[in-house]
Amino acid sequence: MKTQKTVLLGMSGGVDSSVAALLLKRGGYRVIGAFMKNFSESKNKVTGECNWIEDQRMAKRVAGILGIEFITLDFEKEFGERVINPLFRDYSRGLTPNPDILCNKIIKFPLLWREAKRIGADFIATGHYARIKRTRRGFELLAGKDKGKDQSYFLAELGQKDLGHTLFPLGNLMKGKVREIARKARFPNFDRQGSRGICFVGKVDLRSFLGQKIKGRKGQVIDKEGKIIGYHPGAMYYTIGQRIGERLGFELLNDKGNDKLYIAAKKGNTIVAVPAGDDLLKRKEIKINGIHFIGGKESKGLKARIRHLGKLYGGKLKGNKFVFSKPVEALAEGQFIVIYSGEKVLASGEMRF
């Protein structure tokens, strides 16, 4: 009779998933570490080695210290087709997509679970800072206890089935505590910097990255009265709320007057730039494209977040629209809005105007 539960844990080589492995093992689970190779084009600027090789080496090293099984899963084809290609397509359409949310929704969690079922594992797990609560009505996704590391925003598109077989061992811990656990366990990555940038791709110069597939097209920068104040290499490379400047490729006709302007709108390949605080930067309501409810449809005391760890804005959900209590700046089409009821993630979807 099978008594010990098996967990397939996504191990990235970072401190979070390493400590998650340790905690699961201490909790009596049989842990299998799984490194996901999803993108092989990013390289270490010093060694010239692909970043994933360095990450895999570290993950395998920690697995050896813990004495757990370790496997590598190659999902690069799926990642390219389902995340990277749509990212280029959306940017070319003038949208600002969030590949991290899409990666969790259509790559990391479903494909990890597919492998878990194949090998007979009972659960999957990751090192995300979020919590799952089981109730009589199903499962709830809650924000992590560490408000400075909470990653529930990135997980908002998961569904009931995902939550039912997923474990988040770090949900009740603070980041400092996680590093301390790793230090005491003598993990070589206890002080390793966390990953940044695009999911599995890393920190890249976005304009250069997009330029691989999206050809630039010079366009005008105008003020709210329609006066031409400069030029840009392609509106698709930029997002609403972004500050313009020559370091980002803008050619400004009057540097002194245009050094603190922000993108308020994109009209085809024309960018409208205004000073901070201008009404053109603000919106009172947005449409939610493909609204997704994790469970329940509360209508009172709702707050919305428009970026990871961004400010929570009060408002009301009316059908597929969210009406903010006060106008909000820098809302970009394609980005995700995540709606909370207290600590619980209620709904999410892409913003549209």
Q: What residues act catalytically?
A: 103, 199
Cα–Cα dist 153/266, whole Å: 26
Strands (E), the chain: 6-10, 30-37, 69-74, 123-125, 130-135, 138-143, 166-167, 219-222, 228-232, 251-252, 261-267, 270-275, 282-293, 302-305, 312-318, 321-329, 336-341, 344-352
Instruction: Name the DSSP class of 346.
Output: E
Residue with tokens 């969690």: 109
Could you count the other beta carbons within 10 Å of the beta carbon of residue 43? 15
Residue 303 corresponds to which tokens in the numbers above? 């707050």
The length of the chain, given as a count of residues: 353
CB 52, CB 37: distance < 8 Å: yes
